[in-house]
Amino acid sequence: MRSDNIKKGLERVPHRALLHATGLSRKDLDKPFIGVATSFTDLIPGHVGMRDLERYIERGVCYGGGVPFFFGVPGICDGIAMGHLGMCYPLALREIVADTIETVCNAHSLDGIVCLTNCDKITPGMLMGVARLNIPAVIVTAGPMLSGRHRQKKLAFVHDTYEALARAKRGDISPEELVCLEMEACPGAGSCQGLYTANTMACITETMGMSLPGCGTALAVSAKKRRIAQASGERVVEMVKKNILPLDIIHTGSIKNAIVVDMALGGSSNTVLHLMAIAHEAGIKLGLNTFDHISKYAPHITNLEPAGPHFMEDLEYAGGIPAVLKRLKEKLNNVMTVSGRKIFDIADEAEIFDEEVIRPLNKAYHKQGGIAVLTGNLAPDGAVVKQSAVSPKMMRFTGKARVFNREEEAMQAILNRKIKAGDCIVIRYEGPSGGPGMREMLAPTSAIVGMGLSESVALITDGRFSGGTKGPCIGHISPEASACGPIAALKDGDVIEIDIPQRKIGVKLSLPEIQKRLRNWKPIPPKIKTGYLGRYSKLVSSADKGAILG
């Protein structure tokens, strides 16, 4: 065992003394040492219920014959960080999480690890960490939140808070109703109820084979989630004994499966960044073209918030990810999972309980998958849009640029009714380096919807979008403005053309004109020059490479 490095031999007397100081017995030294990386925090709704799941993971590790060691991993709530300087941190946190997993496990020679996670950047950070470490690992995502209720109507976080505040600004709802929505939209523990980034990552982690079957959609408050947590603790000990490693599970075939399911669900556009980063840690080459290629043959068969009426609880009750795998079996690779079972075996045993929540392929909501990759003279290296959340009317759009160098400037213009039908909002200097941290634009995109402009206004940015975003919102524009990308050359009134079916995004300017403007370009000084984000800004790659650190 790896842990023999710290517990066997005469020269390890001091090490054993320290281990005994933690309460370990002599007998414990003969057992596998299992790390339990937990991102519990009182700050995040998706994580406040983890203390309970920690008990069940601990029980499982002990039942399996291992010794559990808990250590903390930092977490950020993207929703609370949204719309201010705090949103510079979540994507950068992903790298801290991966580094923490590597550091603690290698420093203590742990034999295996269970990662207890849930929210947006923490789950991919943990996957990156275990891929880099390549020691036996199981991921436990803590589960989705139940829907809220107001006057018998189901509520979801994004629709009934971010979009509601703009509706209140218009006078469509009363201050009293807004307070009710604020109190009831998030009724308790769990990741936000729609197919936003946290839940998308949970679903594709299960698809990739790194979580036990059913984990991705099992609700945060359910006994089922407890049982999965306990089984995960038991399973990781067995994996240590059989030397089953993450890179036996994470490979080209499983990554492609994850993309197929992501497209079929209509998941968050953030998964493009995260899957490329996970692939990088696993030594797999993965480019934007793979996402677009798979999108063209993987139909969109579920219609969950924010694009549609269904919630994560509906997907769970319809059969969860095993049922989705059953529906998509012909498009998947039959790969091994941490459960010890292959994907096809899981799919064959699954049942589909709701044909509307998980539609047959011939009755898909859209023939193509949820994400499209666009290119053109505005995004030579690519841009990303969640096309499943764009109405047919807005799949093609031509409008005049309204250029902003910060998200806050655009938000004020939207709420103060300075944005009109036919405008194309441009928010730049929000990329991985220029942001820094590639802030999500949920506040302005939700305000566009709430102000009744979602059918007449587009938004483009070198930043990114929340999984809760809907409408013609194109992000990840590469190169970013701070790297002298073409988006830096835009001026108010320039005509922007978006054609999602043809995968095109451009500005009606000649190449010589763009080059002339860029020659006269003067970069905006970085918003943050010190601390972790100052270092991150200098090291991070572009969005089309996954915003990874070099």
pLDDT, tens digit, 9 for 90 and up, residues 231-242: 999 999 999 999
pLDDT, tens digit, 9 for 90 and up, residues 121-142: 999 999 999 999 999 999 999 9
pLDDT at 416: 92
Any idea which residue has 């036919």 for tokens? 422
pLDDT, tens digit, 9 for 90 and up, residues 479-494: 999 999 999 999 999 9
Lowest mean pLDDT among 95-99, 378-382, 390-394, 448-452: 448-452
**Residue 467 confidence (pLDDT) above 80:** no
Candidates 205, 249, 243, 29; CA nearest to 116 is: 205
**Residue 550 confidence (pLDDT) above 80:** no
What are the catalytic residues?
466
Question: What DSSP element (H or E) covers 186?
Answer: none
**Residue 433 confidence (pLDDT) above 80:** yes
pLDDT at 314: 97
pLDDT at 390: 92
Burial 491-510 (b: 16+ CB within 10 A, else e): eeebebbbebeebbbbbebe
**Residue 468 confidence (pLDDT) above 80:** no
Which tokens go with 469? Answer: 């975003």
Distance, in Å, from the CA atom of 244 to the CA atom of 254, rounded to the nearest integer, reads 15
Helix H, strand E, coil C: the string for 6-36 is HHCCHHHHHHHHHHHHCCCCCHHHHCCEEEE
Question: What DSSP element (H or E) covers 115?
Answer: strand 112-117
Q: Residue 368's pLDDT band (boundaries 50, 70, 90)?
A: very high
For 146, phi and psi rounded to 5 degrees?
Answer: -65, 155
pLDDT at 156: 85
CATH architecture of residue range(s) 374-545: 3-Layer(bba) Sandwich (3.50)
pLDDT, tens digit, 9 for 90 and up, residues 203-225: 999 999 999 999 999 999 999 99
pLDDT, tens digit, 9 for 90 and up, residues 265-306: 999 999 999 999 999 999 999 999 999 999 999 999 999 998
Considering the chain, what is the average pLDDT of its residues?
95
pLDDT at 83: 83
pLDDT at 105: 98
Q: Residue 165's pLDDT band (boundaries 50, 70, 90)?
A: confident
Candidates 54, 207, 218; CA nearest to 146 is: 218
Domain ranges for the chain: 31-146+188-349, 149-186, 374-545
- Using CA atoms, how far residue 376 sits from 508, 524, 547, in Å, is 11, 24, 20
pLDDT at 187: 94
Mean pLDDT of 310-328: 98
pLDDT at 400: 98
Q: Residue 164's pLDDT band (boundaries 50, 70, 90)?
A: confident
> Which conformational region is residue 184 in: left (phi greater than 0), alpha (psi within -120 to 50 degrees), or beta?
alpha
Query: Model-level pTM greater than 0.85?
Result: yes
pLDDT at 446: 85
Q: Residue 26's pLDDT band (boundaries 50, 70, 90)?
A: very high
Question: What DSSP element (H or E) covers 327?
Answer: helix 320-328
**Residue 438 confidence (pLDDT) above 90:** yes
